[in-house]
Amino acid sequence: MDYTSIYVTLFFIIVAARLFGEIASRFGMPSVLGEMLAGILLGPSLLDIVHVNEIISFLAELGIMLFIFRIGLESDIGKLVRAGRSAVAVAFAGAMLPLFLVYWGLSGLLGVPAPVALFAGGTMAATSIGVTVRVLEDIGHGSHDYARVIVGAAIVDDVIGVVLLAFLYDFAVTGSVDGMRILTITGSVALLLALVPLAAGHVSHLVMILRQRRKVPGLLPAIHVASLLLFAALCRRFGVPEILGAFAAGCVLSQDTTFFFGRTVRTDKVFIELLHDRIRPIMQLLTPIFFVTVGLSVDMRAIDWGDSGFWLPALLLLGAGIIGKYAAGFLAGGFSIREKRLIGISMVPRAEVGLVFAEVGHRTGLFPPETHAALIFVIIVTTVLPPLWLKVLTTRWNGPTPARARGTS
């Protein structure tokens, strides 16, 4: 392994992420948009000087898991549970509507074979929680009630996406479905979600006791990363998205009122803020790596911009992908029309989740070149467009975003 090339690659990624994130922020745009554009510039789309390897992929994955871990850490489990019905409704509709629209459009209007149309629909069913939540933070809306619905819906949507991927892959490649695999994934998710509320409060209380008795500094970051890796490993073992484990790990350390051996315990707010302070530097270093790799993973030069065989499915996929997610936002109960619009827009980004679907379809030979190119194009547009859309709407409704909310990294 050539460590020199890894050092140089990390240098380019970190510097470009900071530079383009700062530029985007200074122009009033979410910094995540600049980080993704940095990846497009450095990757095969333009300069082609940075290539992703296993180490970079792992650091990027760790970065997004740390980011989602912090979201879980800041979450009030009670409010998340109360938002659960709306989150599930938005997630389910946000997955099924694009799936149906894409399948109907490709198969019924363009004559695409049913397995290809179904798998393309599964690609459009996914939502990227990393892009979604980062954009909300960049525009200063990360703590709003509707943001909790988005977080819950995006996580449920990821779980639906994994189940869909397993189901559609088996159907498209073998013509049958492995029911036991689907049941294992679904049961693992249900078990994990059931254990989190039981563990929350107990774990954080234990951590507070350990911190008071520790002899060596650095306990909190170690507990952060260890908890994150443990939950991620468990999720990986049972075929569940690692980000669900990261979110769960954050939740079990979050503040919550619960019973600890017969007595009520509330995690100290000062302690929770201390947890945030300890995890923030690590997150600010690694999370931008993930968003740069999103840009690195696409190749815009592979698109034949003059081919009608590209544009027809691309426009159909784009319309179905946006309309399906946007419409799903209106199923969130107890919110204003404006907030429902924001929920719908926030569910549009596909990014890494959609790219996984597209890559699986491409590697198995399921997608013809023009369909694969159309999917990549739509994933790029649906990842880049929502940050701009959200920025315009929130600025129009609330005035300019405060400077402190523009850059969280």
pLDDT at 67 over 70: yes
pLDDT at 399 over 60: no
Q: What is the pLDDT of residues 292-351, one digit of tens each?
A: 987 887 777 877 777 777 889 999 999 999 999 999 999 988 888 988 998 999 889 876
> pTM for the complete prediction?
0.70
74 phi/psi in degrees, rounded to 5? -90, -5
What is 60-285+304-406's CATH number?
Answer: 1.20.1530.20
Q: Which long-range contacts (CB under 8 A, 24 or more apart) does 185-190 make?
A: 185/159, 185/238, 185/239, 185/240, 188/235, 188/238, 188/239, 188/240, 189/159, 189/240, 189/244
CA distance 247 to 228: 8
pLDDT at 101 over 90: yes
Q: Where are the domains of the chain?
A: 60-285+304-406
pLDDT at 250 over 90: no
CA distance 203 to 251: 10
Query: Which residues are registered as beta bridge partners of 266?
Result: 257
The mean predicted confidence, pLDDT, of the chain is: 78
Which pLDDT band, with edges at 50, 70 and 90, does 216 fall under? Answer: low
CA distance 333 to 408: 29
pLDDT at 11 over 60: yes
Residues with Cβ within 8 Å of 38's Cβ and at least 6 positions away in sequence, in order, are: 13, 16, 17, 19, 20, 21, 292, 295
Q: Which of 94-103, 146-155, 157-166, 198-207 has the lowest mean pLDDT?
A: 198-207
The answer to whether 361 and 117 are in contact (CB under 8 A) is no
Instruction: Select the more confidently predicted residue: 28 or 393.
Output: 393
The answer to whether 205 and 258 are in contact (CB under 8 A) is no
pLDDT at 262: 42
Which pLDDT band, with edges at 50, 70 and 90, does 205 fall under? Answer: low
Instruction: Select the more confidently predicted residue: 42 or 255.
Output: 42
